Chain A
Amino acid sequence: MKKWQCDVCGWIYDEAAGLPEEGIAPGTAWEDVPEDWVCPDCGEAKSEFVMVEI
């Protein structure tokens, strides 16, 4: 399970946690997050995220 960080505000998407309040179940891989999804904190596009080495 990987983590992805928004390059603009630092918010982290954790694949293990998903984002249930936005209908993204825990365990959802980054590739399966919809392309038009945006960062819940700053609204930036999915393309602005980078994988975070844990």
Chain B
Amino acid sequence: MLNFLQRLGRSTRTSFAKLGRGTLFLVCTLAGITYVLPRPGLLLKQMYSVGVLTFLIVTISGLFVGMVLGLQGFNILSDFGSEEALGIMVAASLVRELGPVVSALLFAGRAGSALTAEIGLMKATEQLSGMEMMAVDPIKRIISPRFYAGFLSMPLLAALFSTIGILGGHLVGVGLLGVDDGSYWSQMQANLDFYDDIVNGAIKSVVFGFAATWIALFEGYDAIPTSEGVSRSTTRTVVNSAFAILGLDFILTALMFGDN
């Protein structure tokens, strides 16, 4: 029993210590903007590896999610004879929830784990240490550009996901199942609000991007510099990002859509 309490105490302490380190790390990373801004090339390169390489998986997933929504939505809505509401159903679920959440989860799986592994391996091969000895702050040089790239890419990826998804839903609903093209779009436009839905969805994806990139970079930076440590950190990135994204999603949804 005492042993259990001891262990509980120790793990609580280490998690708080980790949170503290993580916060400090975040502050340093954010401060790195002074280094990144004069060197847009660094940001560009990371936008490539974070954004462009996630582009494909996000668009393809978006297409399929939209198509499935179109199919499922049609089956349910046709029971009530309101197939014309398919557009609003597909668009609302994508813009409010699935777009930001699923693209963030994909982002964490594709880009986040890659970031963790990359930073962790740089640590293991003494590249970060070497940089420090060359009087270059690795947080500014390595971490910050990646952070801002992830943070900027995320809302774009989410918007792409939703867009492609809506088109996918259109493809199935209108193209295959014969829902009226006009009502698909007009129901959507009549019921989705720019501020309530689109902007809130974008805010969600910004928050998710922030959280997922932070977790990925910190796990890499904090990794035990061995191959086992890096692989464990990579796993933790995916798991923790998923928790963070879904937890934040609940909080944000309650804040944004709770009052009406």
Co-assembled chains A and B:
no
A interface with B by C-beta (< 8 Å):
none
B interface with A by C-beta (< 8 Å):
none
